[in-house]
Amino acid sequence: MENLVRWGLLEESYNPFGSLEKHVKTKLVEELNNIGVPVRSEDIVLTGAPPQYGDYAVPLHEVLRRIKIPREHFVNHIIESLLEKTPLINRATEKNGFLNLRLNYSEYGKLIFTMVTRLKEKYGFNPAREKENILVEYISANPIHPLHVGHLRNAVLGESIARLCEWRGHSVKRHFYVDDVGLQVAYAVFGYKFLRKIDWRKYWRKGDHFIGFVYASTHTLIELIDKRRRLEDAKRRNVEEEVLKLTREIDETMIHVSRLRSQNEEVFDRLLDAISRIKDPGKEVVELNRRFEKGDKEVATLFREVCSIVLEGFIETLNQLKIDFDSWDFESEITLWSGLSKKVIDYLSKTPFLMERDGALYLNGEQVASFYGLKKVFNLPETLDLPPLTLCRADGTTLYTVRDIAYSVWKFTKCGVDRVINVVGVDQKIPQLYLKLALWLLGYRKEAQNLHHFAYEMVRLPGARMSSRKGILITADDLIKESILRALDEVYKRNPGIRKEEAEEIAKKVGLGALKYMLVSSSPTRTITFSWERAFDFEQNSGPFIQYSYVRATSILRKADLDPTKISIENIEPEFKEQLERKLLLLLGEFPQKVAEAADNLRPDLIAGYANEVAKTFNLFYEKCPVLKAPSTTRLSRLLLVYTVATVLKNSLNLLGIDTPSRM
């Protein structure tokens, strides 16, 4: 980037704060080395300073203990050198072991404005020194029902992580793992085979909702049949306590049967009739799953039909969220029929860490971790207990974790990636850890260290309990629809005469923005209690609040009738006399640094919090500092501030997968 030499920046830079930090560190390291105090750049930290002392501060306590010249002489020399060689700093003072720096706001503002007007929608892009090929696997829902609120949080987090990694210059592949293997899918397929000839579109708009009904109904009916059989057996054995317990359970199951039947009597009764004719439907489901794992073509066709119907529904939901995948990875093809899961089991069987019990195979993770010292390698607490992991059932069918191990091998060996990020709920902590242990045991040691479990907590909806087996779900489709309707109500309230088409377009952006921000703005380790009031709080910390702040900024720019990108930055002398101007300027200069921090630590919530802080500060600035009616020099610098605010808010929201409306 040209014209940055004046600020002592001799190479292309995307990061105003990072450039300032690098310059300060370079000068301090140089001066300290000159007086015989060896120090590394990473040992020097630039932090926020108390406002009365400066804008930023460098802790010097360790350095001051090591210098052999008088403290006052050293401090004065450092200050003199910084002021002489760093035009971005206006004043430097030492207080209680901190070197406090007050910026030259005019020069720092021009540096920021130069970067923003050149980079525009790429301001915030902050490439890492070492670029990586990264695979992000997220959502990966079982193809047996619609996506629900938990998947929605996964989707928003996964997409944000992918975008953040791209803004660090990494090459990112988005993968959806289609869990088409296992008993849950077999239940859905078992029910579906009795309904193949019906036109399900007469009753359901989306296929994932149809299969969700089939899965829940089939599972509930088979459960009812099994309990009735066990009840008859208990009566024959005259075990009163068991009879009472099963009677209560059957009564509860009948409530779910009635509820499911009320949703579609015709389809439910067809299922009931077909399943009731089968002697042991539960056993047939298990056999169906076994045949699928073995690659039976007839059964595989049924499974793939069900998956196709569900995935069509998934894609429609994801299109609403503007989420697209580079690869849809079918578990059956990658891990089973390829023989990869068998190879994994065969290899692990040759190690001393596999146990057999009642025909089933288990991996002793505690022994693996102890033998290789992996708790230390993976930074795990020594007190963490690793229960044995079941790899195979006695009937030879595999459990999902062994297939996940095979999938992890495939990701690294077939996809050409350096790092894998699995966006998976915190409840899968132990299975995800076993993937790393197994990779290490299989000889993929670097890969084991480059496999990351991005764990997130669940979403609670007050008064709602979910059970996919009972067909009780708060679907992503329901939440998306509700959020858009609530946003539409707000749009009409604020714009009584607005055209219907425009209102709906704005409502979609605002509604989805409210929903996404609610799910991404909290730390992933925190359980979210979902609240529509918080999601649509136009006063603070919400998607609509930040979107509204963006719209306010662009409205000012429209009224000014000025293109900031055409301004010759080097010919202006912004003053930034007001404290709010300065606070806003410092915040805006930190955006690329915040992108790097959020990406490197996999913390999209940091971008949400940062955007909220920018929006809050901008709204205070808007109230206290006139822009359009300010004197000409002040007006120009404030318009550039407003342009930078609009750019930063738009780019921040984009990193969270949130669109910006033109008006609200």
Helix (H) / strand (E) element for 514: namely helix 500-520
Q: Is the pLDDT of residue 468 over 80?
A: no
Q: Is the pLDDT of residue 332 over 90?
A: yes
Q: How confident is the model at residue 1 (pLDDT cuts 50, 70, 90)?
A: very low
Q: Is the pLDDT of residue 4 over 60?
A: no
Please name the residues in contact with 23: beta carbons below 8 A apart, sequence gap of 6 or more.
7, 8, 9, 86, 88
Helix (H) / strand (E) element for 58: namely strand 56-59
Locus of tokens 């088979």: 222
pLDDT of residue 262: 95
Q: Of the given ranges (61-65, 515-519, 533-537, 549-553), which has the lowest mean pLDDT? A: 61-65
Q: What is the pTM of this model?
A: 0.93
Q: Is the pLDDT of residue 9 over 60?
A: no
pLDDT of residue 464: 63
Question: Which amino acid makes up residue 607?
Answer: I
Residue-wise pLDDT for 153-175, tens only, equals: 999 999 999 999 999 999 999 99
Residue-wise pLDDT for 93-107, tens only, equals: 999 999 999 999 999
Tokens of residue 422, six digits: 């699995």
Tokens of residue 160, six digits: 């944000």
397-403 own/partner pairs: CB under 8 Å, 24+ apart: 397/289, 397/290, 397/293, 398/181, 398/293, 398/336, 398/341, 398/345, 400/179, 400/181, 400/182, 400/431, 401/431, 401/434, 401/435, 402/341, 402/344, 402/345, 403/181, 403/331, 403/335, 403/336, 403/341
pLDDT of residue 11: 41
Which of 457, 209, 219, 443 has the alpha carbon at shortest distance from 317? 209
Report the share of the chain in percent with pLDDT over 90: 83
Q: Is the pLDDT of residue 7 over 70?
A: no
Q: Where are the domains of the chain?
A: 5-103, 184-306
pLDDT of residue 465: 66
Burial category of 87 from C-beta neighbours within 10 Å (exposed 0-12, middle 13-18, buried 19 and up)? middle
pLDDT of residue 5: 46
529: which strand partners?
460
Q: What is the mean pLDDT of residues 534-543?
A: 96
- Higher-scoring residue by pLDDT: 605, 562: 605
pLDDT of residue 640: 96
Q: Is the pLDDT of residue 37 over 50?
A: yes
Q: Is the pLDDT of residue 6 over 70?
A: no
pLDDT of residue 34: 85
| Mean of all residue pLDDT scores within the chain | 93
Question: Which amino acid makes up residue 105?
Answer: Y
- Higher-scoring residue by pLDDT: 2, 60: 60
CATH architecture observed for domain 5-103? 2-Layer Sandwich (3.30)
Q: Is the pLDDT of residue 467 over 80?
A: no
Q: Is the pLDDT of residue 239 over 70?
A: yes
CA distance 184 to 178: 13
93 and 541 Cβ atoms separated by less than 8 Å: no
Tokens of residue 270, six digits: 């067809």
pLDDT of residue 511: 98
Which of 314, 331, 299 has the alpha carbon at shortest distance from 192? 299
- Higher-scoring residue by pLDDT: 47, 36: 47
Residue-wise pLDDT for 334-378, tens only, equals: 999 999 999 999 999 999 999 998 889 999 999 999 999 999 999
CA distance 660 to 267: 43
Q: How confident is the model at residue 399 (pLDDT cuts 50, 70, 90)?
A: confident
pLDDT of residue 31: 85
Please name the residues in contact with 206: beta carbons below 8 A apart, sequence gap of 6 or more.
146, 312, 313, 316, 317, 477
DSSP state of 279: S
Which of 269, 110, 259, 246 has the alpha carbon at shortest distance from 191? 269
- Higher-scoring residue by pLDDT: 81, 249: 249
Beta-strand pair 171-178/133-137: parallel
Q: Is the pLDDT of residue 463 over 90?
A: no
- Higher-scoring residue by pLDDT: 260, 392: 260
